[in-house]
Amino acid sequence: MRAIGQDEFGGPAVLKVVEVERPEPGPAEVLVRVHAAGVNPTDSWHRASGGLAGAVIRLGWDVSGVVEAVGLGVTTLAPGDEVFGMPRHPLPAGTYAEYVTSPARHLVRKPARLTHVEAAALPLAALTAWQALVDVADVRPGQRVLIHAAAGGVGHLAVQIAKARGAYVIGTARSAKHDFLRGLGADEPVDYTRTDFETAIEPVDVVIDAIGGAYGPRSLRTLRPGGVLVALASPAEAYLADEARPLGLRAAFMAVEADHAGMREIAALAGKGLLRPEIDTVFPLEHAAKAHELADGRRTTGKIVLSVTD
């Protein structure tokens, strides 16, 4: 089968089409014929750093496709089921390929209203947003939520999830993207290039920060007593917990993890039309390097997706 692999670390040009053996599902696993695979910043980070020692590695965690075969003990899925999910994260999954194996409970059935391209855009980014907003921050109706990079891959889904939870949503983005944010349900777009968000908004209960750097300390100053900052950019942001505590606030760095219950909630929201991914660009599998070039620019609106099977 065709897959995207690399035998050295570096820029997007290291990605190439390779021929590999089609995998077989092990116990509690399924084999998925991949229709589409989402591209995420974490894919670029893994592509660009580390040491290979002559090995070929493969990228990709987001997948949408059709179950081809099931392994021993699988009862939740059957051949022919349309599924999507985020297999194995943070361990390698290799969804940039024509076939991939996955633990059965890392996948859920794809809502009929979503195409495979749309479904492949959701898992990692939507799970990140869900786990940050629900599992960490416990967002409740009427709370005020500030989402940085609100038009980005995680951000635009976080806006919709927060609105589905009944929150008042403030999102930072350039002015050109404000109409897009309002269309997602954002109540108050803020242009971070023209306005100091610290002074432009009323205090909030929750901040979701996928940018990092100075945004963390600045965001703490926007929180009400008892407020929560969830940092997504880097483990280095863990220091914010110590800065938040004396202020009567809570801060935590969060890394996304495979989550069957979370994927079921995401599928339910998408099935009701309450969560839809914005697709910035779709590339064929063999143009994965071009997809990463675009992703590295960090100026996309929504998600980039690789189309594997028409």
pLDDT of residue 270: 98
What type of residue sits at position 40? N
The set of residues, in sequence order, having a beta carbon less than 8 Å from that of 86 and lying 6+ positions away, is 61, 62, 63, 93, 106, 123, 124, 127, 256, 258, 263
The DSSP bridge pattern shows strands 2-6 and 57-58 to be antiparallel
Between the alpha carbon of residue 143 and those of residues 128, 161, 219, the distances in Å are: 19, 13, 16
Burial call 150-180: b when 16+ CB within 10 Å, e when fewer: bbbbbbbbbbbbbbbbebbbbbbbeeebbeb
pTM above 0.85, yes or no: yes
User: Using CA atoms, how far apart are residues 224 and 265, in angstroms rounded to an integer?
Assistant: 28
Please report the sign of the dihedral spanned by the C-alpha atoms of residue 82, residue 62, residue 131, residue 209.
Answer: negative
Domain with CATH 3.90.180.10 in the chain: 2-123+258-307
pLDDT value of position 310: 60
Write down the pLDDT at residue 10. Answer: 86
2: number of Cβ within 10 Å? 15
Which residue intervals of the chain bear CATH 3.40.50.720? 137-253
Which CATH number applies to 2-123+258-307: 3.40.50.720, 3.90.180.10, 1.25.40.10, 2.60.120.650? 3.90.180.10
Q: Which DSSP state fits 164?
A: H
Instruction: Tell me the HSE value of 110 on the side-chain side, using a 13 A CA sphere.
Output: 29
How far apart are the C-alpha atoms of 157 and 192, rounded to whole Å? 19
pLDDT at res. 53: 47
Q: Hey, CA dihedral for 124, 174, 297, 34, is it positive or negative?
A: positive
Q: What is the reported pLDDT for 85?
A: 98
The CA distances from residue 299 to 49, 218, 307, in Å, are 22, 22, 21
Tokens of 74: 């699988």
Give the pLDDT confidence score for residue 55 in this predicted structure.
62
CB atoms inside a 10 Å sphere around CB 29:
23
The string of pLDDT tens digits covering residues 218-242 is: 999 999 999 999 999 999 999 999 9
Give the separation between CA 12 and CA 199, rounded to whole angstroms.
39
Below-50 pLDDT ranges, the chain:
51-53
Looking at 3.30.360.10, 3.60.20.10, 3.40.50.300, 3.40.50.720, the CATH number of the domain 137-253 comes to 3.40.50.720
